[in-house]
Amino acid sequence: MLGMNRDSSKISDLPFDADANQVVADAAREAERLGHVYVGAEHLVLALARPERATLSRFGIDPAAVRDMIETTITRGRGPIDRNARLPYTSRTQKALSLAMERGRARGEQLVSIEALLFGVLEERANIGAQVLGHFGLTADRVAQSTNMTTDSSTSSTASSFVAESLDASLTVKDVAKSLAWYRDVLGFAVDRTFERDGRMFAASLRAGNVRILVNQDDGSKGLDRVKGEGFSLRLTTLQDVDAVAARVKAAGGTLDAEPADGWGARVFRLRDPDGFRFVVSSKPAQG
């Protein structure tokens, strides 16, 4: 683990900035408060969710709700016999810190930031802290996209008066069951929930990261033969390898309108769903 010291008291050994170092120190205090003899990733999340920090609030997450869920999930310990004992990091905490350092280096940080620390916890998906944050819709990809989009104020355009967290699409389709299967099996979305009336599904909600699509059964009131999707397309930006995503789509039976190609500073391919709605799947455009 990059020669990391397992001792939680040696936080100054970590190449973190002052704020991130304070989170690591507070995590050890959270562990002691709960009577644990180790510092787990859940303690890092408890520290990130302290009332004095706005880290989670920036993602629209209530820190108090996160703390409550963690504390009702974990079991309190009896505490170290020696109150001066130095608590070791668990293997998952070490991995999360290592991933945070890798993330910080990738972003050109001389000292690892709180955002990179949060990314590391989420990227080490098996820990309790990451699972709780996932319950509130926070993922490593979402943190990465948010921090990647940060720009220098001297070069950024005029700030918008409306700040959006995400864009959801609601599509009227001919066969909701067929559309659900296509988005799930071909494009790789996860099914959030389905909606039924008189024992028949009339709508379904699907999600991929921070993107949600609602497919609704066309009731035929405007004619089932009307053309859908003309003059309109949805752009899905992904941190995954675009060529690999396209290959997976084709392997699952999907047909591309355009093979992966470079354009407008990104790698993109195009396809349509069973009703003709157009999608552009794109890598994150290069900055600059």
Please state the rounded mean pLDDT for residues 43-57: 94
Is 128 contained in some domain?
yes
Is 248 contained in some domain?
yes
Is 240 contained in some domain?
yes
Is 201 in the same domain as 278? yes
Q: How far is CA 62 from the centre of its chain?
A: 16
pLDDT of residue 167: 64
Is 110 in the same domain as 215? no
Residue 242 sits in which domain range? 168-219+229-283
Task: For the chain, give the mean pLDDT.
Answer: 83
Contacts of residue 6, defined as CB under 8 A and 6 or more positions apart, other chains included, come to 88, 89, 94
pLDDT tens-place string over residues 18-47: 999 999 999 999 999 999 999 999 999 999
Regarding pTM above 0.85, the answer is: no
pLDDT of residue 243: 92
Is 84 in the same domain as 116? yes
* 90: CATH: 1.10.1780.10
pLDDT tens-place string over residues 87-139: 899 999 999 999 999 998 888 888 999 999 999 999 999 899 999 999 888 99
Q: What does the block give as tokens for 29?
A: 């205090």
Residue closest to 40 by CA, chosen among 84, 16, 6: 6
pLDDT band at 230 (very low <50, low <70, confident <90, very high): low
pLDDT surpassing 80 at residue 239: no
Is 185 contained in some domain?
yes
pLDDT of residue 81: 56
Is 182 in the same domain as 212? yes
**What one-letter code names the amino acid at 29?**
R
Phi-psi region of 198 (alpha: psi -120 to 50; beta: other; left: phi over 0): left
Q: Which of 5-9, 57-61, 82-86, 239-243 has the lowest mean pLDDT?
A: 5-9
Q: What does the block give as tokens for 78?
A: 């009896």
Answer positive or negative: Cα dihedral of 73, 83, 51, 149. negative
Q: How far is CA 5 from the centre of its chain?
A: 29
Q: Is the distance from CB of 89 to CB of 38 less than 8 angstroms?
A: yes
Is 91 in the same domain as 198? no
pLDDT of residue 108: 84
pLDDT of residue 233: 80
Is 163 contained in some domain?
no
Q: Is the distance from CB of 11 to CB of 25 less than 8 angstroms?
A: yes
* 251: CATH: 3.10.180.10
pLDDT band at 83 (very low <50, low <70, confident <90, very high): low
Contacts of residue 170, defined as CB under 8 A and 6 or more positions apart, other chains included, come to 213, 214, 216
Q: What does the block give as tokens for 71?
A: 């504390």
Is 116 in the same domain as 193? no
The percentage of the chain sitting over the pLDDT mark of 90, rounded to a whole number, equals 47
Q: Give the Cα separation of 183 and 107 in Å (integer).
A: 33
pLDDT of residue 9: 43
Q: Give the Cα separation of 95 and 158 in Å (integer).
A: 39
Query: For residue 201, how many other CB atoms are within 10 A of its CB?
Result: 14
Is 85 in the same domain as 185? no
Q: What does the block give as tokens for 221?
A: 């009131």
CA atoms within 13 A on the CB side of 282: 15
Domain count, the chain: 2
Q: Is the distance from CB of 7 to CB of 86 less than 8 angstroms?
A: yes
Q: Give the Cα separation of 229 and 275 in Å (integer).
A: 8
Residue that wins the pLDDT comparison between 288 and 223: 223
| Residue found by looking up tokens 């944050």 in the block | 133
Is 153 contained in some domain?
no
pLDDT band at 150 (very low <50, low <70, confident <90, very high): very low
Is 140 in the same domain as 203? no
Is 261 in the same domain as 182? yes
Is 76 in the same domain as 141? yes
pLDDT tens-place string over residues 155-204: 334 444 444 455 678 888 889 999 999 999 999 999 988 998 889 999 99
Residue closest to 177 by CA, chosen among 198, 197, 199, 194: 194
Last residue in a domain, options 148, 181, 197 = 148
Q: What does the block give as tokens for 124?
A: 């080490």
Q: Which of 66-75, 118-127, 214-223, 225-234 has the lowest mean pLDDT?
A: 225-234
279: β partners: 234, 271
Residue that wins the pLDDT comparison between 15 and 167: 15
Is 104 in the same domain as 73? yes
Q: Give the Cα separation of 221 and 195 in Å (integer).
A: 20
Is 84 in the same domain as 52? yes
Residue closest to 88 by CA, chosen among 7, 4, 205, 199: 7
pLDDT of residue 288: 44
